[in-house]
Amino acid sequence: MTETDEKGSRPRTAMVLAAGLGKRMRPITSTTPKPLVEVGGKALIDYGLDALERAGVTKIVVNVHYMADLVRGHLRKRKGARIVISDETSALLESGGGVVKALAELGDRPFFLVNSDTFWIEGYRDNLDLLAELWDEDEMDALLLIADMKRATGYEGRGDFTMDAQGRLSRVAERDMSPFIYAGAAILKPSLFAGLPEEKFSLNRVFDTAIEAGRLHGVRLDGLWITVGTPASIREAESVLLSSAA
């Protein structure tokens, strides 16, 4: 069972999605798996792992596929939270299928989910703490961290969701735009994946299920969101990090 805090609401278990091929990052990813690509002298995956540990997570499941041995070797060097590998070397399951495969390790309580290729510069407080504080199990099946396009780097798109005054999320209508981007971090209920097969599918499938039930909510990220999808975006991300430090 997933450990929780005294209120029974703060997740102590998490999953980091790290099995992708990183095709848009070639030629860098010809020799380095994307989670280990360095930005500002730090591997991408370590930004998410560090944020989870600051939020009090004690067990982290990481799925691996491409250059899995290199990712495993990197994770063995870390201290702190216990890291469990979900091995997808035989078949890449995408974000949704990867969670289904890992459910036995994630337990039956809500858990954090973090992408290994996005991170953020914190604002007045840690954003995962903010997610945990606003998580309401009675009203939500999923709570997503949502970035404002005006405070994001490396993103090219028309936005992912619209958000009402209560924080409920809906899909952006075709041909419309929204300033709200899924920032690659969330709290999810395992029940969202009940009955789903261990096969290749996207998290968007369960997000849409939660939308239909009126139970997909969002929290606006405090700070600056950074996504690294191409070699050129590394330079942009490092410039933003330097500016923030200054």
Tens of pLDDT, residues 22-32: 888 898 888 99
Sign of CA dihedral 233, 237, 238, 240: positive
> How would residue 1 be classed by pLDDT, with cut points 50, 70 and 90?
very low
CA–CA distances in Å: residue 164 to residues 2, 21, 76, 131, 192: 31, 35, 43, 17, 22
Span 145-152, mean pLDDT?
84
Summarised one tens digit per residue, pLDDT across range 150-175 is 787 766 667 779 889 889 999 987 77
The values of phi and psi at residue 164, to 5°, are -90, 180
Token readout for 12 is 């102590």
pLDDT for 3 equals 44
Q: What was the pLDDT predicted at 4? A: 43
Residue with tokens 């944020």: 51
Question: pLDDT digits over 51-99, tens only?
Answer: 999 999 999 999 999 999 999 999 999 998 999 999 999 999 999 999 9
Q: 100 vs 20, 79, 187, 196, 200, CA distance in Å? A: 16, 27, 15, 7, 10
Residue 30 or 187, more confident: 187
Q: Is the dihedral of CA 86, 89, 95, 97 positive or negative?
A: negative
Which structure tokens are listed for 176?
A: 């419309």
Token pair 């070639």 is found at: 26
Spatial CA neighbour of 233 closest among 145, 149, 118, 121: 118
Q: Three-state SS string across 157-207, please?
A: CCCCEEECCCCEEEECCCCCCCCEEEEEEEEECHHHHCCCCCCCCCCHHHH
Q: What is the number of other CB atoms lying within 10 angstroms of the CB of residue 90? A: 7
Rounded mean pLDDT of 164-190? Answer: 88
**Among 111-115, 149-153, 195-199, the range of highest mean pLDDT:** 111-115
The band of 182, judged by pLDDT with boundaries at 50, 70 and 90, is very high
The length of the chain in residues reads: 246
Residue 31 DSSP label: T
The tens digit of pLDDT for each residue in 31-43 reads 999 999 898 889 9
Q: Is the pLDDT of residue 5 over 80?
A: no
Identify the residue with better confidence: 231 or 13. Answer: 13
What token pair was written down for 4?
């929780």
Most confident of 144-158, 180-194, 227-241: 180-194
The average confidence (pLDDT) of the chain is 88
Mean predicted confidence (pLDDT) in 101-128: 91
Residues in Cβ contact with 72 at an 8 Å cutoff, skipping those fewer than 6 apart: 64, 85
